[in-house]
């Protein structure tokens, strides 16, 4: 059974705020692996702004933090191959 929304409800559901802006975070730490793993997909690629819901400023900071944590070997570059 499909749920029917009014146009006002659709607009409210689709509007999404940046998680870092709502938590008033100034910096994104590369050592915070739990937070960073949320913004990496199954193939270990960085999710885009459209999918993650992060603003441009925090997306740039997030990508730098993920790249730094990869260099420090906290997050893997790719998934292990299962063949």
Query: Is the sign of the CA dihedral 55, 58, 64, 68 positive or negative?
Result: negative
79 domain-assigned: no
Length of the chain: 83
Q: State residue 3's pLDDT score.
A: 41
| pLDDT band for position 25 (cuts 50, 70, 90) | confident
Q: Is 37 contained in some domain?
A: yes
Residue 50 lies in a domain: yes
Confirm whether 41 is domain-assigned.
Answer: yes
Instruction: Judge whether residue 52 has pLDDT over 80.
Output: yes
83 — pLDDT class (breaks 50, 70, 90): low
Can you give the CATH number for the domain in which 45 is found?
4.10.640.10
pLDDT confidence band for 5 (50 / 70 / 90): very low
State which residues form the domain around 57. Answer: 15-71
**4 pLDDT tier (thresholds 50, 70, 90):** very low
């Amino acid at each position: 059974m499909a749920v029917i929304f009014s146009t006002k409800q659709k607009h409210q559901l689709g509007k999404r705020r940046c998680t870092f802006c709502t938590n008033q975070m100034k910096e994104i730490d590369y050592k915070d692996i739990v937070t960073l793993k949320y913004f990496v997909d199954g193939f270990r690629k960085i999710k885009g702004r459209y999918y993650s819901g992060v603003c441009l400023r925090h997306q740039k900071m997030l990508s730098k933090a993920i790249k730094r944590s990869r260099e420090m070997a906290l997050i893997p570059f790719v998934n292990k191959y299962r063949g």
